[in-house]
Amino acid sequence: MNRSDSDAAVPDRPVRRFGPAGCLHAFALVRPAEALSVALLFCYALVLLVCYYLLKTLREPLLLAEGSAEIKSYAQAVIALVLLVLVPLYAAAFKRVERARLVRGITVLFIGNLLLFAFLGEAGVDIAFAYYVWVGVFGVVILAQFWAHAADAFDVESGERVFPAIVVGATLGGLVGPLAFRVLYPAVGIRALMLICAGLLVVTLPLVGWSRRAVPADSRRGGAVDVRTSPARSVGARSGFALVLADPYLRLLALLVVLLNCVNSTGEYLLAEVIVARADEQVAIDAAADRGALIAGFYASFFFVVNALAVAAQLLLVGRLFGWIGVQGAVLVAPVIALVGYGLAAFLPVFTLLRILKTFENSVDYSVTNTARHALYLPLPPEERYAGKTAIDAFFWRFGDLLQAGMVYFGVNALDFGLREFACVNAALAVVWIGVALGLARGYARCTAPAAARHALVSSSHSSTPASTIATR
């Protein structure tokens, strides 16, 4: 069956209310033929995020029980320096290894790392700082790989429709992970938790090939020419850094993630400061209280609430929001929230306000911003989606942490900054972030204009099709 025959049948076919397509269609425009591939990517994202949040929640008490919020900021800077070395290595591997094999190979490497940490921890080696850095590297690389894999599977029109459904799997994983941590951490301990996460990563290995093969031919990338791919724009065999620096659109994406993560990490520093102070107060009141357990309990509760809100937003809001304002409007949501939130925190930097601000900010980041940020790569050629995206999501993302660590060090030690002053800095950065988001919105509109024109042309030829169904390009 060719593309036109398939598409002619899809608009008039009712979506099964209780089948996979029916469930996914509740929060994204998923065609019945796409249901299996989206469901597999949904499960892939779910398992990855459960694993990541188990490991991420574990790193907080490991480091903060004996350290401080300032040490945490410096650990973020080390992550950026490590990624400065790893990004060119990833780009070199991309040129030599088939994409699915590369994704599986990197996953196997991380599984080996986890087994090594479990062994060293059991042997009595202090792994807290190294583990904290490793989780930072793991999070950006494994998730960048996943979203590059997902963007590589669908064409632009299909990706814009199905990405909200796939992100639901990621946000659900972020919700389940902290809940599982609260049950597993006291029951099995640190080392067994690492082994459980290694097992979860093993589960994702077959999903790489299954999810790609399940994408229907008429939704798959490659049937139509990528909007930005032409002989004049061929990216060739360049490193991820070279790709980013050579392209204005990628440079704006890099600047976006630097600002996003710098603002977010500075907010995390402010929150960690008040959490540690609060834990110290409780220990002073009750000498039997465990400082590490208090911190771990707060973060488990905090991550659960953040991800519960993110799941609700993903299920009830994101798909509709993308329909209302598109990818271009969605990238503006987070910086506007940051400007308003940190502007308020500059006047009232107290525990309750900072907790509410970070809960709301992170839940929006994990739902609306995450979906929009990954969708911005849909029009790009393969090397920019993999090597370019990995450079941005790995090094440039963590460069925001490096910038934030320098701000914290200079602010604390040279300028005697407190919570109020750092909140003012974040509000100022949010203004710059809004400007970058506006530039990206214009760039994305230019990149997708030919695809949008084709979509409108085909839609007009199916004028009898109900508005709720999915027209083809």
Four-way CATH pick for 37-217+236-453: 3.30.420.40, 3.40.50.2300, 1.20.1250.20, 1.10.1040.20:
1.20.1250.20
Whether 379 contacts 161, CB under 8 Å: no
- Three-state SS for 366? helix
* pTM greater than the 0.75 cutoff: no
What whole-number distance in Å separates Cα of residue 112 and Cα of residue 129? 18
CB atoms within 10 A of CB 245: 13
- Three-state SS for 96? helix
- Treating both helix axes as pointing N-terminal to C-terminal, what angle do 128-153 and 35-64 enclose, rounded to 10 degrees? 170
Query: What tens-digit pLDDT sequence spans the chain (473 residues)?
Result: 333 333 333 333 434 444 444 555 555 567 778 888 888 999 999 999 999 989 988 887 776 655 555 676 677 678 777 877 777 777 677 777 787 888 899 999 999 999 999 898 888 887 888 888 899 889 888 888 888 888 788 877 777 778 878 878 887 887 788 788 888 888 887 888 999 999 999 999 999 888 888 888 877 765 433 434 333 334 444 556 777 888 888 889 999 989 998 898 888 888 888 777 777 777 777 777 676 677 777 777 787 788 788 778 877 787 778 778 888 888 899 899 999 888 888 887 677 788 888 888 888 887 888 788 878 887 777 777 777 777 787 778 777 777 887 888 888 888 888 888 888 899 999 999 999 999 998 888 887 765 444 444 334 433 333 322 222 22
Tell me which residue of 197, 171, 174, 172 sits closest to 184, measured CA to CA: 197
Whether 276 contacts 68, CB under 8 Å: yes
Whether 436 contacts 253, CB under 8 Å: no
Long-range pairs of 279-288 with CB within 8 A, sequence gap ≥ 24: none
